[in-house]
């Protein structure tokens, strides 16, 4: 492989940082990423490439190299932002009220664009560039996510492997986390509506004390689900919203609860809806309340393919050294990258973005930001991974022929 990858990345680092800041200043929500999509299309065309926008009008794919040879490796970025306020004080903070890149998707986008620009430059200087497909996925924050559109439009049909990364503020810049097997969890949403006759707080014995019933559900349902799932270390149930009534002397007639159900085990995920329904019925039996459960399956767990993970591990070692490669813990967060991993061998890494100073703000924090030195590291890391794969320095027997 060319020894000049680092130099090619360094020559584009200023541009990629500027593009990331432009995205951060002008974030767009899921399925609304029109300006982001157009910006990427224009830059890729300037590089002499031929990007194709997805059918819904946001998100795009772009091929590099001779894709007719097969063994295409895809590199994925997500491009949407979150519906939340940006409370940072940076000069590039969001100018869109209530919308912010607080999950690092702007960084992912800049990195995958950088991979494309570097591979294009390598091709122009005569290097043997593997067949690569850049995927800029829309609506990762919207279940079930834009990854399904990518798949349904056939952009994985001739792909042998998908690689990706995610910002990780728990890791310092210069660290890359890798992990085989499940790295994220399935993420489902349950909405529970409970009803009763209502009444006066002076006479709760004459009606259904709905706030008391709601309290039972809030406290008893999560541990009951975890126990019934028979995999307590792999299931998390948390309520994020609960509402009943408005007046202190009125027993309400309606209560609503919303929460998330997460599991890192695919088989457990397949039966979680029935488990939730059964345990909820048991808790509410005899209370006199009626209820309705709305259960929405989200994304499956991201399960990293072992050999694809070794491709990333080797590239990470090349870029940050063995001391910079860490075994990434499993996250109970969800990610639409999981849909790719269900189709072809795939692996998802974590990119350290913390400067080493100050608090380690979590993803989705209102003041989340990254140390931008991570961008160049991410570009070189993924570029080396795809070039190593394409040049047979590392090949997986588990990669299915196309």
pLDDT digits (tens, 9 = 90+) for 267-296: 899 999 999 999 999 999 999 999 999 999
The last residue of a domain, from among 268, 299, 330: 299
Residue 44 pLDDT greater than 90, yes or no: yes
Set 80, 265, 369, 372: catalytic member: 80
Backbone angles phi, psi at 294, to 5 degrees: -115, 115
pLDDT band at 400 (very low <50, low <70, confident <90, very high): very low
Same-domain check for residues 126 and 210:
no
Domain contains 295: yes
Per the annotation, the verdict on 140 as an active-site residue is yes
Which CATH number covers residue 241?
3.30.70.360
pLDDT, average across residues 378-397 = 78
Query: Which comes out higher in pLDDT, residue 71 or 336?
Result: 336
By residue range, what is the domain housing residue 99? 5-184+302-390
Same-domain check for residues 245 and 149:
no
Query: Which comes out higher in pLDDT, residue 330 or 358?
Result: 330
154's torsion region: left (phi>0), alpha (psi -120 to 50) or beta?
Answer: left
| Average pLDDT over all residues of the chain | 93
Backbone angles phi, psi at 290, to 5 degrees: -100, 160
pLDDT tens column, 157-198: 999 999 999 999 999 999 999 999 999 999 899 999 999 999
Give me 302's structure tokens: 């991201």
Residue 103 pLDDT greater than 60, yes or no: yes
Query: Which comes out higher in pLDDT, residue 230 or 250?
Result: 250
Which CATH number covers residue 337?
3.40.630.10
Residue 232 pLDDT greater than 80, yes or no: no
Domain contains 243: yes
Residue 399 pLDDT greater than 80, yes or no: no
Same-domain check for residues 173 and 55:
yes
Same-domain check for residues 219 and 102:
no
* Rg, Å, the chain Cα set: 24
pLDDT band at 265 (very low <50, low <70, confident <90, very high): confident
Same-domain check for residues 214 and 227:
yes
Domain contains 397: no
Same-domain check for residues 77 and 146:
yes
CA dist., res. 102 & res. 81, Å (int) = 7
Same-domain check for residues 99 and 19:
yes
Same-domain check for residues 51 and 122:
yes
Backbone angles phi, psi at 162, to 5 degrees: -120, 130
Q: Of the ranges 27-31, 264-268, 394-398, which is most confident?
A: 27-31
Domain contains 315: yes
Domain contains 396: no
Q: Percent of the chain beyond pLDDT 70?
A: 96
Domain contains 55: yes
Same-domain check for residues 345 and 364:
yes
Domain contains 395: no
Domain contains 376: yes
Per the annotation, the verdict on 188 as an active-site residue is no
Q: Which residues pair with 135 in a beta bridge?
A: 61, 76
The last residue of a domain, from among 246, 266, 299: 299
Same-domain check for residues 25 and 173:
yes
The last residue of a domain, from among 264, 299, 334: 299
Same-domain check for residues 202 and 110:
no
Set 33, 78, 86, 140: catalytic member: 140
Residue 401 pLDDT greater than 80, yes or no: no
Q: Domain total for the chain?
A: 2
In order of 39, 141, 298, 332, 383, the CA distances from 335 in angstroms are 24, 8, 9, 10, 22
Q: Please give the pLDDT value at position 71.
A: 82
Point out the least confidently predicted range of 218-222, 241-245, 287-291, 357-361. 357-361
Same-domain check for residues 228 and 180:
no
């Amino acid at each position: 492989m060319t020894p000049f990858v680092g130099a090619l990345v360094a020559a584009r680092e200023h541009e990629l940082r500027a593009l990331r800041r432009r995205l951060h200043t002008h974030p767009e929500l899921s399925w609304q990423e029109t300006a982001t999509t157009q910006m990427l299309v224009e830059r890729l065309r300037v590089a002499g490439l031929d990007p194709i926008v997805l059918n819904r009008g946001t998100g795009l794919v772009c091929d590099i190299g001779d894709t007719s040879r097969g063994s295409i490796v895809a590199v994925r970025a997500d491009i949407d932002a979150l519906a939340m306020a940006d409370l940072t004080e940076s000069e590039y903070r969001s100018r869109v009220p209530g919308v912010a890149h607080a999950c690092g998707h702007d960084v992912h986008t800049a990195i995958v664009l950088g991979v494309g620009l570097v591979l294009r430059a390598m091709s122009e200087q005569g290097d043997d560039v593997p067949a690569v497909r850049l995927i800029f996925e829309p609506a990762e924050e919207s279940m079930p996510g834009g990854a399904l559109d990518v798949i349904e439009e056939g952009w994985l049909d001739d792909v042998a492997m998908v690689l990706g990364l995610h910002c990780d503020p728990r890791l310092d810049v210069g660290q890359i986390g890798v992990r085989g097997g499940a790295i994220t969890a399935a993420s489902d949403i349950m909405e529970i509506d409970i009803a009763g006759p209502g009444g006066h707080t002076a006479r709760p014995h004459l009606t259904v004390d709905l706030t008391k019933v709601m309290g039972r559900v809030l406290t008893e349902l999560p541990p009951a689900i975890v126990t019934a799932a028979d995999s307590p270390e792999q299931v998390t149930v948390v309520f994020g919203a609960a509402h009943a009534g408005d007046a202190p002397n009125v027993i309400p007639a309606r209560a609503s609860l919303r929460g998330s159900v997460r599991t890192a085990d695919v088989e457990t995920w397949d039966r979680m809806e029935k488990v939730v329904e059964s345990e909820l019925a048991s808790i509410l039996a005899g209370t006199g309340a009626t209820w309705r459960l709305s259960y929405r399956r989200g994304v499956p767990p991201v399960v990293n393919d072992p050999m694809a993970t070794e491709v990333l591990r080797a590239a990470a070692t090349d870029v940050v050294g063995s001391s910079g490669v860490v075994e990434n813990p499993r996250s109970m967060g969800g990610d639409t990258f999981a849909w790719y991993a269900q189709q072809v061998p795939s692996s998802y890494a974590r990119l350290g973005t913390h400067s080493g100073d100050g608090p380690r703000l979590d993803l989705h924090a209102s003041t989340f930001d990254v140390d931008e030195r991570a961008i160049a590291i991410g570009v070189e890391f993924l570029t080396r991974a795809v070039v190593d794969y394409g040049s047979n320095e590392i090949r997986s027997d588990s990669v299915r022929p196309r």
